[in-house]
Structure formats: structure tokens, C-alpha cells
């Protein structure tokens, strides 16, 4: 069975600092991986997705993620945090049936 | 705006009641997925439809049911509601059913409060 683990339910960074949100997956087949962001009182918005074309994936709003098979990781990074990045971030793996299996989420706080 | 619409946005009801949540997928998308987001369970897949047919079931209670209509909109019916059913219910749509890394686009959700 596929699963996703997000390390750290809360991450706090200062504005301008590096953002690193961790995601590890478990999958017996090559995974399709996604990062979604959820702003307060809103739905989930896709940030980026890994589809095996390239290990470094660039997404919206300056975010990127690197797929590392040897570490079974798909960590999300952004070089410089903005106040507007404060939100909850979800890593997900798509199972063979098509549904998404989500991690527990990481709430990102950005301090001025 | 993802192009997926959900109504109503908020729903407050009492235990034992029945409610219907509605979802309209993005134009052209044949797959509809329902997810439940709660504080204790996180985001959990409930059920998937593709072009009117049920394709997959997740952790969906027997008190819950869903269907997808010929115009591709979907409804999630929740009956004999309990306090623990209070959650945010999301609908997502995609163009394919499985096997491909297509994107699921999420609606804004329906927040259900059971009193």
C-alpha cells in the first residue's frame, strides 16, 4: 500500500528565509507525487507534481520539489519565504486506482 | 478558481438528519472524487466516479452514498448524521480515471457542521 509521511506538523520561518517542507513516501511502484496548498477557508490548490519526467520539479509561486528515489523523498522548498506563503501544505501520492493519498499536512507560518 | 464548484458552502444541521452535497466538475472532466477533511482523520478519500460509474471506494461509511449524473455533476448524500460527521467535504475532478499522472482539481469544499 502506498503512503505519505510529512515530517513536522508545524514549520515556522522568517520572511526571506528558506522554506523546507519534508515529505517521504512509500510505494511499490514508481510514484506520482503531488504538493497541494490550502489557504484558510479555501480548497486545495496544486503547487506541483512529479510524473517521472524530471526529478526537479518547479511549481507555482516559486516553489520546487526534488524527487529522490534513494531517499523516498519529495521535499518542497522555496528559497525565500513571503508572508503570503503562510498556509497548510499537503504532500500526496496517487495510487494505482487514481485516488490521492495525503500526508497529514504541514502548517507553514511566516514571521515578519 | 479551479473550475470545480461545490454547493452549499456551509451546512449546519442536526444529528439524525440527511443532507446532500453537490459538485460540478471542470468542463470536460469525467472523473469526480470526494474527500473528507477532519481534524482527527486528515484528508481521506471517500469515493470516485468516472463517467457515471463508481470506480473506487475508500473509507466511506454505509450511511454515505454518492452518484454521478449524466451531466457529470455529482452528489454526496450523508444520512443519519452524527456529530463526528462534521468536516470539510471536498470534491475534485480530473480528466482520466487511473494510471496517468493527471491532476485532480479541487473545489472550495462544503463545511458541514452537525449539532
State whether residue B21 is helix, strand or coil.
Answer: strand
> With bands split at pLDDT 50, 70 and 90, how would you rate the model's confidence at B63?
very high
Can you tell me the distance from the alpha carbon of B47 to that of B23, in angstroms, rounded to the nearest whole number?
13
pLDDT of residue B112 exceeding 60, the answer is yes
Q: Could you tell me which chain A residue has the CA closest to the CA of B40?
A: A104
In 10 A of CB B62, how many CB atoms?
Answer: 7
Please give the mean pLDDT across all residues of chain A: 93
Lowest mean pLDDT among A42-56, A61-75, B44-58, B82-96: A42-56
pLDDT of residue B101 exceeding 70, the answer is no
Instruction: Kindly determine whether residue B103 and residue A99, on different chains, have CB atoms separated by under 8 Å.
Output: no
What backbone phi and psi angles, to 5 degrees, belong to A18?
A: -70, 140
**Which tops the pLDDT comparison, B27 or A29?**
B27
A94 contact residues in B (CB cutoff 8 A): 101
Q: What is the mean pLDDT of residues A69-83?
A: 96
Instruction: Kindly determine whether residue A98 and residue B58, on different chains, have CB atoms separated by under 8 Å.
Output: no
pLDDT of residue A25 exceeding 80, the answer is yes
Instruction: Kindly determine whether residue B90 and residue A44, on different chains, have CB atoms separated by under 8 Å.
Output: yes
pLDDT of residue B62 exceeding 70, the answer is yes
Lowest mean pLDDT among A13-27, A29-43, A80-94: A29-43
What string of DSSP letters covers A17-86? S-EEEEEEEE-SS--EEEEEEE-TTS-EEEEEEE-SS-SEEE-GGG-EEEEETTTTEEEEEESS--GGG-
Would you say A75 and A66 are in contact if contact means Cβ atoms under 8 Å apart? yes
A44 contact residues in B (CB cutoff 8 A): 90, 92, 106
**Which tops the pLDDT comparison, A76 or B41?**
A76
- Reference B64, options B41, B40, B89; nearest CA is B89
State how far Cα A62 lies from the chain centre: 13
**Which tops the pLDDT comparison, A94 or B99?**
A94
A96 contact residues in B (CB cutoff 8 A): 98-99
> With bands split at pLDDT 50, 70 and 90, how would you rate the model's confidence at B92?
very high
Lowest mean pLDDT among A17-21, A100-104, B99-103: B99-103
State how far Cα B103 lies from the chain centre: 16
B94 contact residues in A (CB cutoff 8 A): 98
User: Is-cis flag, bond preceding B8, omega within 30?
Assistant: yes
The reply to whether B33 touches chain A by the CB within 8 Å rule is yes
Contact residues, A window 68-97, toward B, CB-based 8 Å cutoff: 90, 94, 96-97
The reply to whether B98 touches chain A by the CB within 8 Å rule is yes
Instruction: Kindly determine whether residue B106 and residue A36, on different chains, have CB atoms separated by under 8 Å.
Output: yes
Amino acid at each position: 500500500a502506498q503512503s505519505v509521511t510529512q515530517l513536522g506538523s508545524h514549520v515556522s520561518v522568517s520572511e526571506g528565509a528558506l522554506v523546507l517542507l519534508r515529505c517521504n513516501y512509500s510505494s511499490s511502484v514508481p510514484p506520482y507525487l503531488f504538493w497541494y496548498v490550502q489557504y484558510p477557508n479555501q480548497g486545495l490548490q496544486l503547487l506541483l507534481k512529479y510524473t517521472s519526467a524530471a526529478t526537479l520539479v518547479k511549481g507555482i509561486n516559486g516553489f520546487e520539489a526534488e524527487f529522490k528515489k534513494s531517499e523516498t523523498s519529495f521535499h518542497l522548498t522555496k528559497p525565500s519565504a513571503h508572508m503570503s506563503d503562510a498556509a497548510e501544505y499537503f504532500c500526496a501520492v496517487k495510487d494505482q486506482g487514481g485516488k490521492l493519498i495525503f500526508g497529514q499536512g504541514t502548517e507553514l507560518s511566516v514571521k515578519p | 478558481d479551479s473550475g470545480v464548484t461545490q454547493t452549499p458552502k456551509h451546512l449546519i444541521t442536526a444529528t439524525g438528519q440527511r443532507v446532500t452535497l453537490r459538485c460540478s466538475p471542470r468542463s470536460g472532466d469525467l472523473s469526480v472524487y470526494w474527500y473528507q477533511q477532519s481534524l482527527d482523520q486528515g484528508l481521506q478519500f471517500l469515493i470516485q466516479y468516472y463517467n457515471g460509474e463508481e470506480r473506487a471506494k475508500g473509507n466511506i461509511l454505509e450511511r454515505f452514498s454518492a452518484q454521478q449524473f449524466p451531466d457529470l455533476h455529482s452528489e454526496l448524500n450523508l444520512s443519519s448524521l452524527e456529530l463526528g460527521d462534521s468536516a470539510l467535504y471536498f470534491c475534485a475532478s480530473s480528466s482520466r480515471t487511473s494510471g496517468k499522472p493527471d491532476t485532480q482539481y479541487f473545489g472550495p469544499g462544503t463545511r458541514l457542521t452537525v449539532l
